[in-house]
Structure 1
Amino acid sequence: MLVERKCYRRPVTGNTVSPVKIGVLGAARITPMSLINPAKRNIEVVVATVAARDVARAKAFAAKHAIARVHDSYEALIADPDLDAVYVPLPNSLHGRWTRAALAAGKHVLCEKPFAANAAEARVVADLAEQSGRTVMEAFHYRYHPLALRIEQIIASNELG
């Protein structure tokens, strides 16, 4: 099955490409592995800010992971005009709510699985993404891992089976 993927195009300033600035909602344990560490290896991505229910926890998380700024609420992070995208690693029951809020604020969204609680909520999120011209992506990490590409190559080559 072929899936067309819309990609966010970063603004070009002079001869350089501005990095995608991402804000993180929550201080979840998955965030370093899924976003922060990969972003450190990519000059086109900056994890710029974090917000958590507890500001002290957000500050400790930011200090531990060299995140420059902390917002005192999820709403403040989403409203930040310097951010291009929001990463949502919150509890599953909050994914739809904060994904919709980020889209409404004009942000692209990377959301941990599941990005919606059911098909109806997924349709609302998809419609909002289309209306806003923003990309929403569910964080299926393995799908973009080099191992997945190698598996696809092996299957296509009939090397096995």
Structure 2
Amino acid sequence: MSESAPQPLRIGILGAARITERALVAPARSGGHRLVAVAARDRSRAEAFAAAHGVERTHGSYAELLADPEVEVVYNPLANGLHGPWNLAALTAGKHVLTEKPSASNADEAREVREAAATSGTAFMEAFHYLFHPVTRRLHELLASG
């Protein structure tokens, strides 16, 4: 029996932040994933971002993006204070979430986000790549070696 190839992720982007190109656009493209939609505070900014990065469509608000049935994964590079509320909204909408750090503004907000991820059965991940960076791995090797 042959296994079917994994389907590309269908990604929606909250905001048109500069970090998105390096943190999401390039890796998504190299992995064969789709950039389905982007929303920004200013629709013209979302349109410019979509045109520059090959995003399929724009939405007039973050809420519209979360309501898009074709978006299955949300990337959240918004301002730090907006991470918790929009992570919670995305998880509540049944979307998987990759968020920039910090994932929440305080412990109570972090618990709410964690509970929403558990309740919705979605994957939630903070973009904290340092744990997996080769320099960090080497540092741990050196520390372990005494």
What corresponds to 1:9 in structure 2? none
**1:8: which partner in 2?**
none
| Aligned-pair CA distance for 1:146 | 4.0
- TM-score, normalised by the number of residues in structure 2: 0.90
Q: 1:95 maps to what in 2?
A: 83
Change (3 A) 1:147 1:19: farther
The residue number in structure 2 matching 1:123 is 111
Equivalent-residue separation in structure 2 for 1:151 and 1:48 (angstroms): 38
Paired with 2:35 and 2:129, the residues of 1 have a C-alpha distance of 17
**Equivalent residue of 2:104, what SS?**
coil
1:92-115 deviation line (CA, Å, top 9, x unaligned): 111111101101110011111111
Does the 8 Å CA contact 1:25/1:90 hold for their aligned counterparts? yes
Match of 1:40 in 2: 29
Distance 1:152 1:66 in 2: 39
| Structure 1 counterpart of 2:46 | 58
Give unpaired runs (5+ residues) of structure 2.
Answer: none
State the identity as a percent: 52
Question: SS in structure 1 opposite 2:131?
Answer: helix
TM-score by length of 1: 0.82
CA distance in 1, matches of 2:127, 2:90: 16
RMSD, matched Cα: 1.6
Task: Supply the distance in 1 between the matched residues of 2:85 and 2:51 (Cα, whole angstroms).
Answer: 27
What's the CA shift string for 1:23-48, capped at 9, x where partnerless? 000000110111111111112x2222
Q: What does residue range 5-154 of structure 1 map to in structure 2 within 5 Å? A: 15-43=4-32, 45-153=33-141
Q: Unmatched 5+ residue regions in structure 1?
A: 1-13
Aligned residues: 144
Which secondary structure does the structure 2 equivalent of 1:16 belong to?
A: coil
1:150: how far off?
Answer: 4.5
Specify which structure has the higher proportion of helix: 2
Q: CA deviation at 1:142?
A: 2.3
Describe the shift of the 1:96–1:22 C-alpha distance in structure 2 as closer, same or farther (beyond 3 A): same
